[in-house]
Amino acid sequence: MKITVIGTGYVGLVSGACFSEFGHTVTCVDKDADKIQRLLNGEIPIYEPGLDGLVARNSAEKRLLFTTDLKAAMDGAEAVFIAVGTPSRRGDGHADLQYVFAAVEELAAFIKSYTVIITKSTVPVGTGAEIKNRLQGLLDEKLYDVASNPEFLREGAAIEDFMRPDRVVVGVDSDAAKKVMNALYRPLFLNETPILFTNLETAEITKYAANAFLATKISFINEMADLCEKVGADVQQVSKGIGLDKRIGNKFLHAGPGFGGSCFPKDTRALVHSADTYGVPMRIVRSVVDVNEKRKIAMAERVITACNGSVEGKRIAVLGLTFKPNTDDMRESPSLDIIPALQKHGAVVHAHDPKGMSEAKEMLEDVTFYDDPYGPLKDADALVIITEWNQFRALDLKRVHSLMNKPVLVDFRNIYSKADMAAEGFDYIGIGRGK
């Protein structure tokens, strides 16, 4: 099948590459000529394990094409995915849909035979209906259907999530569109992936409900961690104790410095706002957003306390800047709240991240960056681990100790054991791990 993907951001590029791996012929379109040229040169604009190989192989086999020419890309396409950005609108947190609608209105001129227009970007409930409204008068109704096919992939595990998803959710309102969507996902039938066909509104809400629920689990366990700290309990064992209950499940119960990334913060805010417009307050999700935003800022206080109440003039080593490991993505990363807050209190910050430093350099001021994890440790008064990269799980602790001015370790991801660290002579502060 010939398909077009508009937008070569995270979701667009991964989806395009994976659909081509399924055997479809995919043309990825973007307005950013520079980005398209880089992709044509085999350069991948984001760090995502496995994506480079997938793009190279399918490009070489001419199943994956890149262009800025939407008209040419639409020629003969049976399906077009809209995978452009839906950023939080400044001020009110609504998902900004201007790029989605602009893409739809532009492509209308190039549809000459039946095509399914599919939203892959995360869009608030009602967007599919609004797309149909906007196409009235622009495109003959017989030439298209609108579908919603939200993406559930995680950064850092995107290829695996796309190729072996827990489920695929498709919102359609015609048999013709269902047939096209079935054909697109046929390779997944072989491994019996559940494909849930539903209506547009249900598919749109399912995406937000999934992210909001996962974010709720995180804020929930983060608050439990705070309580554990006060009463001498261990949140990791609480997670285990509740996670073994199959009704709860053990995933997304790692306490930490608060969730970040391009999805949870944006999508929880957007859900709160879009539900408000229907007069249905999302009280739980609103609290999740609030707990998380306050938490990220409050994390700096823990470092200050670990440094005996002041970081003024002190050297703080930070390991891990991205919002999670295996990505170069810095969007809404806790490091962007923690580091400036420490600097405001007079800290001098030295940092390392395996993949996020070029993005971090654009977003953080007055930080000294190092290419290896031991660089920032020299003469440091505290080491703060913000992101749990595997590289930081097995540091040479003797070397770490000898490099530092004071052996204070603030471990926001609980990757070390308190007892082991005490044995190595560190003053260790984890998350939710009692006294």
Q: List, by residue number, the catalytic residues.
A: 263
Crossing angle for the helix pair 200-231 and 283-306, to the nearest 10 degrees: 40
Beta bridge partners of residue 384, listed in sequence order: 318, 410
DSSP string computed for 369-382: E-SSTTGGGTT-SE
What order do you get walking across the sheet with 427-429 strand by strand? 367-369, 348-352, 315-319, 382-385, 408-411, 427-429
Q: What is the largest CA-CA distance in the chain?
A: 73
Shortest distance (Å) from residue 211 CB to ligand UGA: 5
Which of 97, 100, 181, 263 contacts ligand UGA by CB under 6 A? 263
Of residues 218 and 403, the one with the C-beta less far from ligand UGA: 218
Region of 178-186, 210-218, 369-377, 395-403 interacting with ligand UGA (CB under 6 A): 210-218
The verdict on 412 binding ligand UGA (CB under 6 A) reads no
Shortest distance (Å) from residue 301 CB to ligand UGA: 18
The verdict on 289 binding ligand UGA (CB under 6 A) reads no
In the range 99-128, which residues lie near ligand UGA by CB under 6 A? 122
In the range 306-345, which residues lie near ligand UGA by CB under 6 A? 323-324
Shortest distance (Å) from residue 68 CB to ligand UGA: 25
Residues 103/133, Cβ–Cβ less than 8 Å: no
Shortest distance (Å) from residue 412 CB to ligand UGA: 9
Which of 110, 264, 412, 426 contacts ligand UGA by CB under 6 A? 264
DSSP string computed for 288-312: HHHHHHHHHHHHHHHHHHHTTT--T
The verdict on 162 binding ligand UGA (CB under 6 A) reads no
Token pair listed for 312: 């003024």
Shortest distance (Å) from residue 403 CB to ligand UGA: 27
Q: Are strands 408-411 and 348-352 parallel, antiparallel or unpaired?
A: unpaired
d(CA 113, CA 78): 8
The verdict on 186 binding ligand UGA (CB under 6 A) reads no
Q: Tell me which residues touch ligand UGA (CB under 6 A).
A: 122, 151-155, 211, 214, 218, 252-254, 256, 259-261, 263-264, 267, 323-324
